[in-house]
């Protein structure tokens, strides 16, 4: 497994996205724990979560608790593993996702996340999504306060435009370490934010890198270039996608979601795949 940086922290170049284990269609707890263990045993040292990864209204933090449980029962060194979470999204239990970016809410939510994850501080806390009812600087200001108070060790933002990334960097006094935006073969509109992160040396964490939970198995059949390169290397199109993302910039750390040990393992070994310049150009052009 190659390594990459999030702030001063070295993590595996490929992370694990926790969402499929806690929302609609989630597996039972034993399979989820086995999935997290499979990723960790394959060298993954970065797991992405959020307090809003749950299904019913009364189980906020389902995914954070699951990750804490899996780390507790794992035989390896949990101190090597960086768990990132987020706040700012809520799930009232009717299938919808709502927003609260008020500083008061974000601070309370982070403290609740810390109590579920355990330890002295949250390794990486990310503002989940801009709330149009709250000035962006006020929401990100809550992360600055949480850093100052020692509740969180590192701060990131998600679903941010280039202007919001620059604003977050300023509000945090340069302490922005990560940006998590949607990016996949079929969704490339965050390329400017990826390039900005590359310039700034800020980690870029593509979410739904395989096209999302419902599309990942097919991986957009229209993008035949991914299937052709996969066939040439005797790997899956999903593994080609992860290798293509890694090649975009040294700041990119894909976080493919999994709900099965098999997919967690398959994603973790995708970093071993090296694509030629011609292949990368063909994949870039296939968007
Ligand atoms: N910041 C945000 O707003 C935001 C939004 C969405 C997601 N996220 C984060 O990003 C993570 C990834 O996104 P996502 O889970 O929505 O979508 P995704 O990673 O594009 O796709 C997830 C699906 O891919 C399948 N998969 C994973 N690795 C595979 C492989 N090597 N071969 C074949 N199939 C594979 C999994 O199947 P199985 O279920 O069968 O294992 C899983 O259901 C989430 O888990 C979450 O942490 C963040």
* pLDDT in the model for residue 35: 98
Residue closest via CA to ligand 1's atom 11 equals: 17
* pLDDT in the model for residue 80: 96
Atom of ligand 1 nearest to the CA of 158: 1
**Percent helix, strand and coil across the chain, each rounded to 5?**
45, 15, 40
Average pLDDT, the chain: 96
Does ligand 1 come within 6 angstroms of the Cβ of 45? no
Return the structure tokens found at 179: 């940006």
- Inter-residue contact 113 to 89 (CB < 8 Å): no
- Inter-residue contact 44 to 12 (CB < 8 Å): yes
Residue closest via CA to ligand 1's atom 37 equals: 258
Helices (H), 13-154: 29-41, 62-73, 103-117, 136-149
Q: Where are the beta strands (DSSP E) in 167-279?
A: 176-180, 203-204
- 183-196 pLDDT tens trace: 999 999 999 999 99
pLDDT lower than 50: segments of the chain? none
Q: Which of 16, 19, 165 gets mutated to test ligand 1 (max ligand atoms within 8 A of its CB)?
A: 19
Residues 6+ apart with CB under 8 A from 136: 101, 130, 164, 167, 168
pTM for the predicted model, two decimal places: 0.97
- 130-182 pLDDT tens trace: 999 999 999 999 999 999 999 999 999 999 999 999 999 999 999 999 999 99
Return the structure tokens found at 117: 């994850």
Does ligand 1 come within 6 angstroms of the Cβ of 20? yes
């Amino acid at each position: 497994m190659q390594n990459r940086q999030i702030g001063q922290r070295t993590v595996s170049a490929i992370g694990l996205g926790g969402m499929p284990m806690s929302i609609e269609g989630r597996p039972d707890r034993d399979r989820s724990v086995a999935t997290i263990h499979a990723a960790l045993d394959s060298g993954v040292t970065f797991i992405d979560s959020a307090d809003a990864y749950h299904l019913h209204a009364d189980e906020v933090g389902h995914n954070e608790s699951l990750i804490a449980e899996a780390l507790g029962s794992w035989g390896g060194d949990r101190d090597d593993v960086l768990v990132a979470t987020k706040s700012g999204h809520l799930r009232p239990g009717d299938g919808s996702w709502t927003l609260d970016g008020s500083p008061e809410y974000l601070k309370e939510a982070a403290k609740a996340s810390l109590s579920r994850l355990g330890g002295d501080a949250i390794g990486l806390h990310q503002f989940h999504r801009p709330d149009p009812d709250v000035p962006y600087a006020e929401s990100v200001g809550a992360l600055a306060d949480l850093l100052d108070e020692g509740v969180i060790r590192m701060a990131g933002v998600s679903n941010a435009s280039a202007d919001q990334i620059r604003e977050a960097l300023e509000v945090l006094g340069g302490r922005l370490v990560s940006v998590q935006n949607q990016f996949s073969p079929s969704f490339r509109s965050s390329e400017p934010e990826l390039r900005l992160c590359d310039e700034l040396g800020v980690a870029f964490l593509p979410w739904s890198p395989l096209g999302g939970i419902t599309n990942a198995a097919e991986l957009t059949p229209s993008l035949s270039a991914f299937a052709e390169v996969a066939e040439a290397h005797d790997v899956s199109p999903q593994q080609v996608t992860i290798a293509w993302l890694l090649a975009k910039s040294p700041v990119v750390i894909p976080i493919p979601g999994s709900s099965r040990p098999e997919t967690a393992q398959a994603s973790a070994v995708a970093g071993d795949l090296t694509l030629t310049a011609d292949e990368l150009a063909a994949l870039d052009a296939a968007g």
